[in-house]
Structure 1
Amino acid sequence: MITARTKRQLLIFLVITVVGVTYVGARYARLDRLFYDSSYSVTAHFKESGGIFTDAEVTYRGVQVGRVQELKLTDAGVDVVLSIEKDHDDIPADSLALVGNKSAVGEQYVELQPQSDQKPYLKEKSEIAADKTSVPVSTTEILTNLDNFVQSVPQSDLRTVVAESGAAFKGAGPDLARIIDTSTSFIDTANANFETTQKLIRDSRVLLQTQVDKESAIRGFSRDLSLFTGTLADSDRDLRRLIDEGSATANELRTFLERNQVNLGELISQLVTTNEVVVKHLDGIRQVLIIYPYVVAGGYTVAEKKGKFYNARFGLVLQQQSPTCSAGYLPKRSPQDRDDRPLPEDVGCRESGTNLRGAEKTPSNRTGTAYRSPVATYDAGTGDVSWSDPAQGQVAYDGGAAKLFGDDSWKWTLLQPALPDDQE
């Protein structure tokens, strides 16, 4: 007769057995799907199976998310029905379905590789197109390609390569080990500075784009550099002579600088002032240099040609002039003092009023002289020289001497050789 204690033990054992069988059946035999289906089906279209089989794993980013439910043979290939757990409902619909091998002996599985993290996601009855699926290269194809490669390599040359490689690496074990260790250290350092390397690669795009934008300038620089180096090559003999004889010239230059270093210092110091004056009048100097060739060319029009030569007559007039008035202009400002100062308004000759000097000493009824137009102007932008009207360059006397000394003065007969236009 079974006691009550034994009955309780048997009941507990029965409950544990039922729970264990239920767990094993639901976990491994998937018996729970007979009562409740917690997955959704997705069909992937493959051109060939690639060795995949029913109940193979389906992974997403390395995590198992389901299993292969069914394989269907079609005219275009094989349809693989994937049963994915509903907990993983955030798999992008543009994911790739790849058949992979877990080991060298096989054990294929389907790997879902996302192309983005955005919607839409896979859902019940979703399909993955054939152009987004792939299978691994078959072992038969690998062996066939390897055999073809081996057959294409000449036997004698292969023996030579193997023999030479053996001779090259003989006794180089420690060096190779050191290279491998150093490479490992290099990789570790590169990983530690990954962010810096990534930033360098990203910023290098700006530099490379600049090189692309400056392509014409770089080509011009290369072309000019080629011309420069070609000129140097053509002048090789002169350069060699310069190097050979340059030592004596350098000694002479050094001796000259040592003997005249004080005077050169003063000269350079004074040239600073001169250069500042030249800079202030640079536009005028440039105008003179541009017009001067035309003036020289026009000078031949006033010279008389006799045979092969030109004759020009010059007159010399000696006139006694009074010394330059300096009263009212002193003291002189030092040329070294280049500070800005206000323009003085009371500058003028301070000598006796009987000695007429300066425009302010002339009678008030004397008319001023109008500013003459320039002979020619130069446009720096176009490089053109424009000549003024020749009629504007003619000088007309206004009878100033007669107005200054009076109509009855005897000086008028000496200073006024011709009557003004309005008295003729």
Structure 2
Amino acid sequence: MLLTKFVRYQLGAFAIITVVVISWILVSYLRVPAMLGIGRSTVELVLPSGAGLYPKSNVTYRGVHAGVVHSLRIDADTVVVTMHLDADLDIPKTDLRAEVHSRSAIGEQYIELLPQTDSAPYLADGDRIDSTRLPTPTAHMVDALDTALGDIPRDDLQTLITESGVAFRNSGPDLQQILDGLDNVLDEGHRNLAPTLHLIDNAGALLDTQVAAGDDIRAWTGYLGSITGSLAANDAHVGALLAGGEEAGTQAADLFGRITPTLPRALANLQSVAEVLRIYNMSLEQILVVYPPLAAMAQSIVKGSEPGMANLDFNMNVNAPPPCLTGFVAPDQRRSPSESAVIESPTPNYCGVAPGEPYVPRGARNMPCMENPGVRAPDVDSCRAGGTAPLGTNPWIGGP
């Protein structure tokens, strides 16, 4: 058959494309170069047992695929696992931890390489790693689970399974959203691998704090258990509260809606009152303590004195002690009663002698300072300044 020149060109192009595709398949999927030892390093891992590993098991480096298990062999009382690793990866071998993990309950074991440093030296062809970090055998886990389930009454276990089925019924879309969200988190962590690895490497300090706070956490869970037990014991009351909660919430919302225009102003005024009450807290407490017996005494004065009650006597005291003039307007400066214009007071207008003087002992100069205990002064500024100096001594009323 005679082939035209155009057909020969087509056949040649198809042959070239076929060779390229087959080569790409051999390199990318079949990994023929790696099978021939090109671009890979052979490292041995010594374990106490095979731990369910098998040829072609995955080997990861900080969660990233790094190679596969080539073979396993028994050496005395250990198992030697031969791994083929990607030679392009620089895996630090100082304090290198090799752990065997399981992807699921049915097996699928893989090896995780977790270096404790980022610096050289790195794993090279022919290196050997010793490790004892193996997963809990599935048989042991099944036995422990069977023992735990055996301690639970069958009726309670059946109730748990039934209620769990009711709880998760028709929740497939919600669970799918959770799984999709976890996939997004994992994808984001893979795209930001360096920060994620840094976070994982430094998570030990945080976990150590949780271990140190183990007693507090157990105490908190105990308190939580007591709360849930109390809720269970008062299930009827809690149910009634939840049943009537909607109506109460509606009424509360209506109340807040009606007081919204005036509530900010009222709260602002209450803040001022609260500040005053904070300062005069001790005085208010004293009034509340002393007022009841004083009221009882006042009643006894009216009704007549009895044993243990107060007795009111009337006596005349003339100039004992004499009146206080210090701090007030001098007699020669006082205005006529006929003058009614409002003027500023030129003096403090309180008895300004020393606190120990007998004149007007209950006057303003002896008022206790609420913000500065132990200090007595006639006004707030003097209290905050630590007191006030006497204005003088009280002259004899009959003096010059």
TM range (shorter): 0.3 to 0.5
Higher Rg of the two aligned structures: 1
What TM-score comes out, normalization by structure 2 length? 0.41
What TM-score comes out, normalization by structure 1 length? 0.39
